[in-house]
Amino acid sequence: QSYLAAINSVNETVNANAKRSTVDSTLSGLWKVFDAAVLELGSELCDSLSNKAIFEACVKQDTLKMTGRRMNDLEKKADAEVRKAEYESVLKSTILRLRGSYADVLLAAKEEIKSSLEKQAKEIESNQDKQISDLVRSYERRAADAQRKALEVERSYEKRVENAERKAIELEISYEEAIAELQTSCSIKSRKI
């Protein structure tokens, strides 16, 4: 029963119309080759066993003939059919066991490969998450550095503007003082004249 369940499970996987993974395709290819080889071998063995059953029936007929007992062709044919049926039954059971065992191996391999691929995918995803996290931290540091530099430039600009405004005021005061001096000097000269 368990052999039939494994065989049916593999056959369902092989005959599935849905898009299959590479693993499924490879395993279904292995199954098809193995199954075809076992069935062909089974057919050849069945023919050989049929010939063996006929040969043994003939040997039995000759042995009975030597002991003085007779076996007619109908009895010989019936004996050969019974032997053939026994051999075919054992052969079918053996082939079913072989196919079932191989199907179990394929299903176990599929699960192991699937588990391995899932583990690798998780590791890759974890590595990618770490790389992304590292990149985000790096960009955040760069952004913070750029913001700090922008603030420094802005402060420097503000200081320069303040200095320029102070110098402009000083120049204006100095200019006004110079004009006042000049006016004073001109008014003193004009009184003297």
Taking only the tens place, the pLDDT of each residue in 12-60 is 766 664 456 677 777 777 888 888 888 888 889 989 999 999 999 999 9
The residues, any chain, with a CB within 8 Å of residue 96's CB and separated by 6 or more, are 3, 4, 7
Average per-residue pLDDT for the chain: 85
d(CA 2, CA 100): 8
Q: How far is CA 63 from the centre of its chain?
A: 66
d(CA 94, CA 89): 9
Q: Which two tokens stand for residue 174?
A: 């100095």
Nearest CA-CA partner of 1 in 105, 106, 104: 104
Give pLDDT tens digits for 85-130. 999 999 988 988 888 888 888 888 888 888 888 899 999 999 999 9
Band of residue 69 on the pLDDT scale cut at 50, 70, 90: confident
Q: Which whole number is the average pLDDT over 160-174?
A: 90
